[in-house]
Structure 1
Amino acid sequence: MKKRLAASIYLILPIMLIAQQQPYPHLRNVQVQARVEHEKGGQMFFYSYTVTNGKTSTGNIARIEIDISRGLNTLETDTIGLQFENDGYTEKNFRLDFPGLAERIVPVGYLRTPPGMWSGGNTNALTASYDGVREHAIVPGQTLSGFELMSKGLPGIRRCIVSPYFDVIALFPDPADTTTTYYVPPVDSVRQAVKFRGWTVGPAAPPASFNPIAWGDTIASFKHQSADLGWIINKGIVNSLDQKLENARKQLVQGNNNAAKNTLEAFVNEVEALNKKGKQLTSEAYALLKFNAEYLISKL
């Protein structure tokens, strides 16, 4: 019995040592901060992202993806004025290179990438993706900015996926290369498990058939989701914003568009004032509430 136990310990120890030598590159407590600006007098929105890798991560960030899928019955925005990764890239090139895909995403341009070997492009997963080489990946505790998209899509709440640099050969050595027999989990399962998934603000397409009351409800939903996501820091301001949106809704139902417009303008003014004060709401909540309310005002 003692001999069997000793043999078991002998087999387990090498396995533990291998795991300690090459831990899986898990990403933890990743932060993706979004700031949005609107072209004055134009249709273009500019989305800037700052990414921080959590100190407790064991992997380096090498890919940032933001959902840009376009839902059914949503407004199709053109690519005129967008800048692509390659100089001279046109709307025609885009649609030829991505037949079918072009109709399923909100068109975006890649205005800027961080210094180093980072590049931007659309993926078959309907995401806008920034990819960096191993030497320029974001290490634990590091913050990197300079990820900038441009789009005519309105700010919406979007899923973001952040992936580490994934060295398959180092993590999953060929069993023939070692004398130790040990369990190797499926590569794809580990690849998915080490990613960080969260929410950010990115380009979204509004409904093709616009209903002002329904869009007002969308803004109210953005407000509640922002509070749940921690983007409205001072929860005391929620009631005041709620009241203005409820009043605007009643006025729209009554067909009093001018009164609703005035109420919504007061809503935007309050959002701007809260943003200037700081520590009331984040840049994400500011973009969602301000620009979508202004879009509604422009339709009245």
Structure 2
Amino acid sequence: MYKKIFVIALMMGVILLTSLSFAQIPSPLKDVEVSTTATQDTTTGIYTYNYSIYNPPINDGKIWSFDIDISKPLGGQELNSKGLIIQRGIKADGSMLIRSFEEEIAKRLMRKSVIPVGTQFNGWSSGITVMGTVGWGSSEKTMIIPGKTLYGFIIISRGLPGIRDAMLRPDIDYDNLPEEYWENVELTKQLQDSLIYSTRTIGPTAPPADFKPIEFIDYIINLKHEAYNLGWIVQGRDDDKGKHDDEEEGIMKSLDKKLEKAREELVKGDTREAIEKLKSFIHEVEALYKEGKEKEGKHKKEEGHSHITSEAYALLKYNTMYLIEKLGGEIKEKD
């Protein structure tokens, strides 16, 4: 009898020790890549932001959620939400659960004003959060495993491209966390927050309601510098210099000069000349992006060729186009 009890107790101990040995805290995500393109439908003025997420092999965790800040900046315009739809996911009967942007907001006790957006379904459920983000969450079967890329995270909005914070979260096996996390909500929340991978990308924002051309061109200049610091504008080798600039000082100097000259014309009150300088700036942005795409197929970008990424392209092109339109100019296909 006692022998049986001893054996059972021993087995229980082994099971407990085994379960504790598998208990572990997940590793934070590292070097996740969020790539973004943005295009504009010139007939409607609506932008489509298309995101892809790459989970590198160095990670041992799956990615299960993705959020982008869409909070409205102080002093920003009120943007139209007409026709914007949140494709939240698939219902039990197989039909799509759809809400208009206004319906989605009405169901939330929002802590922040947000830019009106729509989303498209890519296998992950989506929605707007009370904290001013639009986000996607996956099921167990559709999480992004290490070494894989998932495409098709799409935002539709009338908001101009701006630099936005993005957050990705790894999957957590709550059943196998160490004992101190059991029923400890605060500690578990701290763990969740510590594992968030934060990065920056582009997403919709609102231009100022009180529009001032010189302040807006200063904003574009600042966007250019931020894009450079984020690695979206790459100054290449010496043999790339001089291709797009007036003096052989590289693409950053060339882009700077075009914006500075446009600003000078605005200060002088010569709107027409400022528009021409801004068009020249757009031409260079387009040429740099096109050449970068062509070289991508022939060379690795790490080899040092000057280029701008799709993020910098969208930021600089569409904000400059907006400024030109506000100044009374227009962009034609062959401008």
TM-score, normalization: structure 1?
A: 0.85
Q: Unpaired segments of 5 or more residues in structure 1?
A: 1-13, 177-184
The number of residues matched between the two structures is 278
Q: Choose which of 311, 315, 318 in structure 2 pairs with 1:284.
A: 311
Residue 108 of structure 2: aligned partner = 98
SS at match of 2:308: coil
Cα deviation, 1:258-299, whole Å, max 9, x if unaligned, reads: 100010011011111111101501000000000000000000
Q: Cα 1:134–1:252, aligned 2, differ >3 Å: closer, same or farther? A: same
Q: Between 23-32 and 126-135, report the one with greater CA deviation.
A: 23-32
Q: 1:98 & 1:68 partners in 2: Cα distance?
A: 15
Q: Cα 1:274–1:140, aligned 2, differ >3 Å: closer, same or farther? A: same
Q: Unpaired segments of 5 or more residues in structure 2?
A: 1-15, 89-96, 237-249, 293-300, 302-306, 328-335
Residue 196 of structure 2: aligned partner = 195
SS at match of 2:99: coil
Q: Mapping of 1:38-117 within 5 angstroms?
A: 38-85=40-87, 89-90=99-100, 92-98=102-108, 100=110, 104-110=113-119, 112-114=120-122, 116=123
What is the CA-CA distance between 1:23 and the residue it aligns to? 4.2
TM-score, normalization: structure 2?
A: 0.77
Q: Choose which of 149, 161, 181 in structure 2 pairs with 1:155.
A: 161
Name which structure has the greater RCO, CA cutoff 8 Å, separation 6+: 1
Determine what percentage of the aligned residue pairs are the same residue. 36
SS at match of 2:234: coil
Q: Choose which of 298, 320, 323 in structure 2 pairs with 1:293.
A: 320
What is the CA-CA distance between 1:249 and the residue it aligns to? 0.5
Cα deviation, 1:73-130, whole Å, max 9, x if unaligned, reads: 11011211212226663355245323656x70001100x232x4x1111011110101
Q: 1:188 & 1:155 partners in 2: Cα distance?
A: 32
Q: 2:213 & 2:258 partners in 1: Cα distance?
A: 15
Q: 1:96 & 1:175 partners in 2: Cα distance?
A: 35
Q: Choose which of 240, 247, 260 in structure 1 pairs with 2:274.
A: 260
Q: Between 209-218 and 84-93, report the one with greater CA deviation.
A: 84-93
Q: 1:249 & 1:56 partners in 2: Cα distance?
A: 46
Q: 2:21 & 2:167 partners in 1: Cα distance?
A: 26
Aligned-pair Cα RMSD in Å:
2.7
Q: Cα 1:188–1:93, aligned 2, differ >3 Å: closer, same or farther? A: closer
Cα deviation, 1:190-220, whole Å, max 9, x if unaligned, reads: 2111111010000111111001101101111
Aligned AA for 1:42?
T
SS at match of 1:93: helix
SS at match of 1:49: strand
Q: Does 1:130 align with 2:136?
A: yes
